Amino acid sequence: MPATPLQTTFLLRRRHARRKGSLPSPRLGIGLAGVLLIGLTLVLIVLAGFYASLTADLPPLGLVKAYFDPQYGAFYHPSRLLDRSGEHILLTLENPGIPPEYRVLDPDESGHLSPRLIQVAVSLLQPDFWQSPGFSFRHLMDPNPHTIAERLVSDLILSGESAGLRQALRMRLLAAQLTAEFGRAQVLEWYLNEANFGHRAFGVGAASRLYLEQDAAEVDLAEASLLIAILDAPALNPLDALSVALERQQNVLLTLYQRGAMDQTEYQAAQSQKLELRSQAMEEKLVAYAFIRLALAELADRLGQERLERGGWVVKTTLDYDLQVQLVCTLQVQLQRLESGDLNALGSENCPVARLLPTLNLAEEPFGTDWSGSAVLLDPQTGQLLALAGDTTAGAESATLGSYPAGTLLSPLAVLGLFAGGYSPASLVWDIPASLPENQDSAQNPDGIFHGPERLRNAMANDHLAGLVGLLEQNGAANVWRRVEPLGIRITEGVEALYGAAQLDPIQVAQAYAPLANSGVQAGVEENETLRPALTLEVMRGGELEPGFGSVQTQALLSPQLAYLIQNVLSDEPARRASLGYPNPLEIGRPAGAKLGQTTAGDDIWAVGFTPQRLAVVRLSRASAEDQPRLDARLAAGIWHALMQTALRDLPNLGWSQPSGISNVDVCDPSGLLPTVNCPEVVGEIFLTGNEPTVPDDLYRKLQINRETGLLATVFTPAELVEERIFFIAPVEAQEWATGQGMEQPPTAYDLVQAQTSLPGLALISPAMFAPVSGEVRVRGTADREGMQSFTVQVGQGMNPARWVEIGKGSTAVENGTLATWQTPLEDGLYAIRLVVVDQDMRVHRIAIQVTVDNTPPQARILYPSQGAQISLGSDKTLNLAAEVSDGLGIRQVEWLLDGRKIGNRIDDPIFNLQWTATSGEHRLLVRVTDLAGNITESEPVVFTVK
C-alpha cells in the first residue's frame, strides 16, 4: 500500500536527521584544519631553515669567471713553490713549454675547439646537455656530479667542501643557477677549459698539446675520444698509463657508436686509427728534488692534490736556496773525490763550499765504487728544514730519501737512555773483550782495538763500543732504548743496533738529535700527535694567507739537564781527539756537539752535529764488496764541516748555558769517583744534582815495593830499598786484558831476595834539557833493553813532580825513535818528562829531563807607522818601520809582511826595526812573531799611505 503524504514526510525527516547526526561537528572540523595548518607551517619552517642552511655562505658564481681572469685567475697562474726568501722559484706546477690556453666553442673565432671534441664531450658526458637545466633531479642526493654544469661547480666552486648530502644539494643548486645565468654553451666552454686531464694538464687546450702535440682545433674523432676518456680518471692518461688510456679510448668509441653519435664507417675508421702521441713528458731541471717531493706531499695532503695543481697557490717554503745548492754540490764533489780516489779535488768554482772540505791523507785505497750520499740541514729552534739532499750520486740528485744502517750514530741515544737511568758522563766502562756478550765476539770496536777502562764520555765520543754494549746488556737494551722513544725513534734490534742492524734516514736522525741541540725541546709541525720538520713558511692564494701553514709548535721531550749532559759530551773536543786526532773535521771554531757513525760492515758512514742554531746530518755509503777497507767516517765529517761552516757564517757564536740541577765535581780518571792522593789524573765532570759520586777512587792503590826485586816489601826489606808505588788495580774480569796490554799489576809475592842491578839502554834525546816547548811535542829517545817488557813515558809538573801523567807506552824496543806524543798543558812552567822501563822480571828503570812549557803566544804591536798615517817620503825614500815585541822566554823570529809579501826578518829585542825602501800608495803592514817554543802571533794590521 502506498505511503500517505504524512508518512512520506515523516520518513524524509527521519532520513535527514540520520544524515545530520552522521556528519562531524563544526568544532571538530575546525580543529583538524588547525592541526594541518600548524603541521604545514612547521614543515615550511623546517624547509626554510634547511634552505637557509643550505644556501648559507654559498660561494658566488663569480668564482668561475675569476678562475679564468687573465690577470689574477688561477688558470693563468700555475701554483709555485718558492724558497724562504721568495726570490727563487723551486717548482712551477705545470708542464714545461705548455702554457695555459683558453679555447672557445665558436668555430668562427680564433682559438676555437674542434667540433669533434665538443661532440664527443657532450655525447659521452651528458647526451641531454642541450636540454638540461644544469642539474640531475634523478641523482639529487648523490654527492658525485652527473651533469657538465655539476662537474664545473664541483671543480671550481665547491672543491674545498667534503662530500655529503649538503654538498650534493648545494652543487645542484649552483649548477642550476650557473646554467640559468650564463647559458649551456658558456658552461660547456668553461668546463672544457678547466677540466683535469691528468699530468698537470688542465683544460683541453693544454691536454691536446701535451698528449697529442697538436692544436685543440685540429683534434679528430679518435683523438677527441682519447682526451675525453681521461676526464673520469685523470691518472689514466697516455703518459702515465698508456695501454689503459688506449683501452679506455676504444671503450669511448664503442659507447658513442652504440649511442648513435657516429655511423659504422666513422666508428671503424676511428677504431683502427693509430694515434701519434708524445712518448715522454717534458721535465725541467729542479733544485732540491727530495725537498720538493716532501713539500708537495704535505701540500697535497692539506689542500688536495687537484686543488693544488689547478693553480693560483704561492707557497713560500723553508728552503734556503743558497745552502741547498751548496749542500748538493759539496756532497757531489766529495763523491767525485771518492769515485776518482783524488781526495784533494776542489770541484767547480760554482761550489765554493766544497773548498772548505778538509784535506784528508788516508792510506786506505781504493775507496770502492757505487757511492751515494744524502744530507739534511735543520734549524733546531724552529724545526724548519733549510736544505735537503736526497739519495745523491756523483752525477745526480734523487727525489728519494732512503734508510741506511745507522750504527754508532745511535750511541748518543743509548747513552742518553743510560743517563736517564742514573749513569753519568763519568761512569766507568770497561772497553775489553769480556764486556761483549758471547754472541758479539766478532762485532768489536770499529778500530779493532780494545781501550780498557775509561769514562763513558770518552767511550761514546770515540766509538769504543765494547764498554757501552756491556752497559746496555747489564741494564737491558730494550729498556734503555725505550727511554729515548720520545725522540721519535723506536729501536727493536737491541745491542745489534749499534753495529748496523737499525736503519734510519737522515730526516729521522735530524729529528732525534734536534731536541739535544735545543735543550730538550723539539720544534716542528704536528703530524699524528708528533712533531716533524716544517717545510712551509706561508701559503697564499689570491693574495690571502691560507690558515694552518707556517705555525710551529714546540714540545719538551727531555729535561734541560739530560739534554745538557749529552750536549756537553758531544761538544767535548778533547774527548774525541783520541780517535780523530787534532785538528779534525768535527771542530768548526765554535761550540758544536758532533758525532760520527759507522757500522761493522764498514760501508756506511755518518756525521751529525749541531749548535743551538743549526743541525746537519750527512750520510755516505758505497756498494758492499769483499776485501775493501773500512770507510773512514771522517769522509762524511768533512762534508758536515764544510756545510756547518757555511750555515753558521753569519750567525752569532753561541753555546749552551749550564742549567740549574747540574753539578760540577772533580773526579779521578777513569773511575769517575772522588779523587784520592793516589789518583794520577783528576778531571772535572758534570752530574745531575744528587747523582754525584760519594766514594773515593778504588782503582789506584799505593803499595810498598822493593825497588830492586819488584816484590812487595816486608820488614826484612832494607829501608833504603823500600819505595812506595801506586798500582792500577784491575778487577778480575779485566786482569787478562791488562796483562795482555803490558799493564803492570801489583806483585802478589813478598820480597825475599835482592834484585839485580839495572842495565843500560835508556835515553831521552828530544826535547833537550830545559828546552822550551809548546803545543804537541814528540818525545824521542831509546828504550832498548834486553828482556824489556814495556816502557811508559810520563810527564809531571815542577822540578820534582808529585804527580805523573802517562803520555805514551810501548812493549817493543825503540832506538832513537818516537816514544810518545805529548799535548802540552795550557799552564806554562817547568815540567819533567820521565821514561820508565819495566823488564820482564818487573824491574823498573827511570830517566828524566826537564823542559819549559810555553803555550802563551808572544805579544806584538806596530809602533810606526800608525793606523791611517799619511807619510811623505824623504829624498832617500826609506822608512824606518818599528814594532814592540815581547815574550816570557824569548823570540825566535819576527817577520814583516807588507801587502801580503814578506819584506824582512829581524831580531833586535825589545825594539824591532826594519828599514824599508818605500813605494807610494796605500799599504797594509803587519808583524808575525814566533817565540822560542814555536808559538806564533800576528799584530793588528796597520793601513797607511805613502805619498
Closest by alpha carbon to 576, among 461, 498, 431, 687?
Answer: 461
769: pLDDT confidence band, cut at 50, 70 and 90? confident
292: pLDDT confidence band, cut at 50, 70 and 90? very high
Run of H or E including 165: helix 165-182
CA distance 717 to 742: 27
CA distance 269 to 287: 46
Say if residue 293's pLDDT is above 90. Answer: yes
Residue 93, amino acid: L
Beta strands at 722-728 and 428-431: parallel, antiparallel or unpaired? unpaired
CA distance 542 to 73: 8
Count the neighbouring beta carbons within 10 Å of the beta carbon of residue 62: 10
CA distance 894 to 576: 35
Say if residue 7's pLDDT is above 50. Answer: no
CA distance 922 to 551: 53
CA distance 246 to 116: 18
CA distance 75 to 662: 61
Three-state SS string over 398-441 comes to: CCCCCCEECHHHHHHHHHHHHHHCCCCCCCEEEECHHHCCHHHC
Q: What is the mean pLDDT of residues 279-292?
A: 86
DSSP assigned state of 946: E
543: pLDDT confidence band, cut at 50, 70 and 90? confident
Say if residue 151's pLDDT is above 70. Answer: yes
pLDDT at 741: 78
pLDDT at 20: 47
HSE value, Cβ hemisphere, 13 Å, CA-based, for 822: 30
DSSP 680-714: S-EEEEEEETT----SB--SEEEEEEETTT-SBP-
pLDDT at 267: 94
Q: What is the mean pLDDT of the chain?
A: 86
Look up residue 601 and give its three cell numbers.
760492515
Dihedral of the CA atoms 511, 357, 374, 290 (nearest 10)? 90
pLDDT at 262: 92
CA distance 168 to 178: 15
pLDDT at 403: 95
pLDDT at 3: 45
pLDDT at 17: 45
* Through-space distance between the first and last CA atoms of the chain, rounded to whole angstroms: 164
DSSP assigned state of 202: B
Phi and psi for 547 in degrees, rounded to 5? -65, 155
DSSP assigned state of 494: G
Is there a contact between 710 and 674 (Cβ–Cβ < 8 Å)? no
CA distance 76 to 70: 6
Is there a contact between 672 and 428 (Cβ–Cβ < 8 Å)? yes
527: pLDDT confidence band, cut at 50, 70 and 90? confident
Q: What is the mean pLDDT of residues 440-465?
A: 85
Q: What is the mean pLDDT of residues 454-461?
A: 95
CA distances from 584 to 253, 462, 576, 581, 793 (A): 71, 13, 9, 6, 25
Q: What is the mean pLDDT of residues 62-77?
A: 91
**Angle (nearest 5°) at CA 424 between 422 and 430:** 105
519: pLDDT confidence band, cut at 50, 70 and 90? very high
Q: What is the mean pLDDT of residues 544-571?
A: 94
253: pLDDT confidence band, cut at 50, 70 and 90? very high
pLDDT at 35: 66
Q: What is the mean pLDDT of residues 130-152?
A: 92
Out of 108-117, 346-355, 502-511, pick the least confident: 346-355
943: pLDDT confidence band, cut at 50, 70 and 90? very high
Higher pLDDT: 476 or 573? It is 573
pLDDT at 45: 60
Burial class (CB in 10 A: 0-12, 13-18, 19+), 239: middle
pLDDT at 439: 63
Higher pLDDT: 572 or 852? It is 572
330: pLDDT confidence band, cut at 50, 70 and 90? very high
Run of H or E including 257: helix 242-258
Say if residue 46's pLDDT is above 80. Answer: no
Closest by alpha carbon to 287, among 397, 384, 376, 200?
Answer: 397
CA distance 566 to 564: 5
Look up residue 254 and give its three cell numbers.
664503442
Phi and psi for 807 in degrees, rounded to 5? -120, -5
9: pLDDT confidence band, cut at 50, 70 and 90? very low
484: pLDDT confidence band, cut at 50, 70 and 90? very high
Phi and psi for 938 in degrees, rounded to 5? -115, 135
392: pLDDT confidence band, cut at 50, 70 and 90? very high
Q: Helix or strand or coil: residue 522?
A: strand
CA distance 635 to 619: 10
Is there a contact between 214 and 113 (Cβ–Cβ < 8 Å)? no
Q: What is the pLDDT of residues 196-241, one digit of tens each?
A: 999 999 999 999 999 999 999 999 999 999 999 999 999 999 999 9
Residues 6-36 as b/e (b if ≥16 CB within 10 A, e otherwise) read: eeeeeeeeeeeeeeeeeeeeeeeeeeeeeee
Say if residue 31's pLDDT is above 70. Answer: no
DSSP 323-374: HHHHHHHHHHHHHHHHHHT-TT----TT-GGGGGSPP---------S--EEE
Q: pTM for the full model?
A: 0.71
CA distance 207 to 193: 10
916: pLDDT confidence band, cut at 50, 70 and 90? confident
Phi and psi for 345 in degrees, rounded to 5? -65, 140
Say if residue 190's pLDDT is above 80. Answer: yes
Beta strands at 870-871 and 942-946: parallel, antiparallel or unpaired? parallel
875: pLDDT confidence band, cut at 50, 70 and 90? low
Q: What is the mean pLDDT of residues 552-562?
A: 94
pLDDT at 355: 87
CA distance 502 to 405: 6
Higher pLDDT: 32 or 792? It is 792
Q: What is the pLDDT of residues 646-690, one digit of tens each?
A: 999 999 999 999 999 999 999 999 999 999 998 989 999 999 998
* Neighbouring residues of 652: CB distance < 8 A, sequence distance ≥ 6: none
CA distance 18 to 26: 17
